[in-house]
Structure 1
């Protein structure tokens, strides 16, 4: 008998038509678990394979997933450290994209408030995992450089690319200046949290090293707790009291994720599996850094500040540029500066507290040169976004600033003296 709904009695397929055979249409009777051997042994494997394919094909960068097994094998078999670093470097890029994809799929189904908290937690999961691994290994310089590099890559590299992508066709792009200025103000608070420990280090007498370290550790831990509280208040501001200000961004997100592939359980499984793979690849990556420094003559600061952030933020970079090209500048600004806020007010303070718990001397006392670079970068970005408008030339300015900083850290050795040490003479002689 012809089926209704289509021409010549054929049922027309739509975007919502299931790719798996429905039980009621199956030729072997109703789909009741255990009544049909074919369904028992083929339904779920087919379903899992289908969902896996849709997940893997969700982003072009996932072609790099071939590096994941290669990187793990290279690390387990102790291949050349440079090869281990390169393979795991490229392996983390698609894993970061999968983490971002699974987080978006899961947060879309659990509500705005919990979704916002999930994005805060998993949005920078790669940087967090790499930094935790480095912190456990006592690589404080890698952790600090990675945190600062993630912030700089977002507010200069990503934002600059967004301004260029949005303004490439000419004219000016407008965005919500109130939201942008709120984010920029919080970034200014983050710079204060780094400047004060650096200034305290410079002001304390060089003859009291133990007391100096204890004081900076106490200041850093207290500041970290306050910054975490500020970040929670910002989430409450964004999701509750002033959610109307973020309506444009929320609408753009809903538009971008109109169709969803993963169920909450599937998304949770993907998050767990990918997080474990990121942790393994990060372990091999961090272990090979010392050999890279010796053989390639690249400083740990450059690796942590320039190379690792590009890996961790690759998926976010692409997403932000795409939405900016579509003239959704509020969402692009939210991705670029919002990610920086997560690093500055959530991830970095969390690592300070974690270092306190596990006995690692992780503090907010960054090198003086790095602190100055951070302050100048935030100042430049605040100046560019305060009018609520952007164009491609401003994007070029951001990119130019980031390239200058990258060159500076390429020639900046790990053995360089701290500016604070030189400033001590000013404070002690006064």
Structure 2
């Protein structure tokens, strides 16, 4: 037999060489060279953060829902279960992003950066809780631009006299936030307009057309913003090119804690579990609000965003205390843009497809609150500097809004 016709199996009677080469190829597919193994990846994923202690509430949420325990217990267990799940979603997304390149990483973060808000919003939408959808989305925006940004400015102000950030990037982000805010004002203005004498206007039909058309346009603008941020003007958003007014700790390149495939599996699994917990949470809101006299608007606007944004709060404050204000602005204002220009339009379109009549019409009070908040944030970002007093202003406005919705 010619040498070229000989196979590895024939060279090795027991087939060990063939089997070992097969396992090497299979291993290369699921784990690239230099990446952690699957056991090491999942060990870090589950036991790498103290917040994961709260994962004990995941089975409690499932049990309490299926056994129909008291509404307060069902709400509390689901509420606490989503906190570590939100952190795990962020960890899995971050681990996947590190290997995908800047453009794909940006798209992945755009899709899963606010995964909890999307899951809670879709769960509430499918259950017909349109009021919860609107207040939770509005609450996420306000939580990011007032509470997260305010706490970050406040924390940085306790360490530095002044913190500096790149003006152009911050103003671009805040301007897009303003555009998204204005698109929410227009439906309210349309609905409040008085028709000419002798004419009748079908406001509901008009609101649906305005909302769906605006949703499509906002999604287009958001895609353009991603292209602007990641491709054509990426240098404006690169913190390494900024000369800050305070010392920054040297950026250390973090080694991957998970392989790309294991991070993808973890992301899918956590998303599924989060969807169940979010569904149980939304299902318990109505009874909890009625039995314990908690306004539904307060639950949607204050409590739900606190759960979804818990991990972002900690990260943003931590980055601000390290002098990395560009990252802080990206987390707080960038997350608000994702909600206003991506998540809300996406939910409007999902509602359109599923027959749930979700619109961009918010109550006049909510519209005024959002508009006033965006104006304050724009005023504080326009000079490219921050201090603890500006942080205190933002947090104070958030607390006043929370108080107003408590008594609403």
What range describes the TM-score normalised by the shorter chain of this pair? Answer: 0.7 to 0.9
| TM superposition shift of 1:343 | 0.1
Is it true that 1:218 corresponds to 2:209 in the alignment? yes
1-structure distance, mates of 2:63, 2:80: 14
Q: Which runs of 5+ in 2 are unaligned?
A: 1-16, 24-35, 243-247
CA contact (8 A) 2:165 2:326 kept: yes
Kindly state the Cα deviation for residue 257 of structure 1 after the two structures are TM-superposed: 6.0
Whole-Å separation in 2 of the counterparts to 1:96 and 1:329: 23
| 1:368 and 2:364 are equivalent in the alignment | yes
Deviates more, 1:59-68 or 1:202-211: 202-211
Post-superposition CA distance 1:169-211 (Å, at most 9, x none): 2410000111110011011101110111000001154998881
Aligned length: 374
Match of 1:144 among 134, 142, 147: 134
Quickly say closer, same or farther: Cα 1:308–1:167, change in 2 above 3 A. same
Asked if 1:113 is matched to 2:103, the reply is yes
Distance 2:134 2:240 in 1: 31
Q: Which residue of 2 aligns with 1:243?
A: 234
With over 3 angstroms needed to count, the CA separation of the structure-2 counterparts of 1:249 and 1:290, relative to structure 1, is farther
Paired with 1:119 and 1:339, the residues of 2 have a C-alpha distance of: 10
The answer on whether the counterparts of 2:37 and 2:258 sit within 8 Å (CA) in structure 1 is no
In the superposition, relative to structure 1, how do residues 209 and 332 fare at CA in structure 2: closer, same or farther (>3 Å)? Answer: farther
Matched, 1:165 2:155: yes
2:321 corresponds, among 314, 322, 325, to 325
Give the C-alpha shift of residue 164 in structure 1: 1.2
In 2, Cα distance between the equivalents of 1:49 and 1:108?
19
Q: What residue number does 1:418 align with?
A: none
Q: Deviations over 1:244-297 (max 9, x none)?
A: 111117999994661111111101100110001100001110000111111111
1:377 paired with 2:367, answer: no
Residue 38 of structure 2 contacts residue 262 of structure 2 at CA under 8 Å; is this kept in 1?
A: no
SS for the counterpart of 2:358 is: coil
Partner of 2:120: 130
Alignment pair present for 1:103 and 2:93? yes
Instruction: Indicate yes or no: 2:82 matched with 1:82.
Output: no
Provide the TM-score with structure 2 as the length reference: 0.87
Residue 56 (structure 1) shift: 2.1
Does residue 1:94 correspond to 2:84, yes or no?
yes
Q: 1:234 aligns with which of 205, 219, 225?
A: 225
Distance in 1 (alpha carbons) for counterparts of 2:41 and 2:260: 13
2:406 is aligned, of 410, 416, 419, to 410
What is the SS of the residue equivalent to 1:277? helix
Tell me the equivalent position of 1:279.
Answer: 275
Give the conservation status (yes or no) of the 8 Å contact 1:102–1:270.
Answer: yes
- Is 2:385 the partner of 1:389? yes
Distance 1:357 1:194, change over 3 A: same
Distance 1:282 1:174, change over 3 A: same
C-alpha distance in structure 2 between counterparts of 1:100 and 1:250, whole Å: 26
Q: Distance in 1 between matches of 2:195 and 2:284?
A: 37
CA distance in 2, matches of 1:76, 1:33: 48
Range moving further from structure 2, 279-288 or 58-67:
58-67
Q: 1:85 to 1:238 in 2, by over 3 A?
A: same
> Aligned to 2:52, which of 35, 42, 62?
62
Q: Kindly state the Cα deviation for residue 401 of structure 1 after the two structures are TM-superposed.
A: 0.6
2:157 touches 2:388 (CA, 8 Å); kept in 1? Answer: yes
Question: Following TM superposition, by how much is the alpha carbon of 1:111 offset from its aligned partner in structure 2, in angstroms?
Answer: 0.8
1:168 is paired with a residue whose SS is helix
Quote the Cα distance in structure 2 between the aligned partners of 1:253 and 1:101: 22
Task: State how far apart, in whole Å, the 1-side matches of 2:240 and 2:202 are.
Answer: 47
In the superposition, relative to structure 1, how do residues 125 and 285 fare at CA in structure 2: closer, same or farther (>3 Å)?
Answer: same
Q: Which has the higher contact order (CA 8 A, sep 6+)?
A: 2
TM-score, with structure 1 as normaliser: 0.83
**SS state at 1:288 partner:** helix
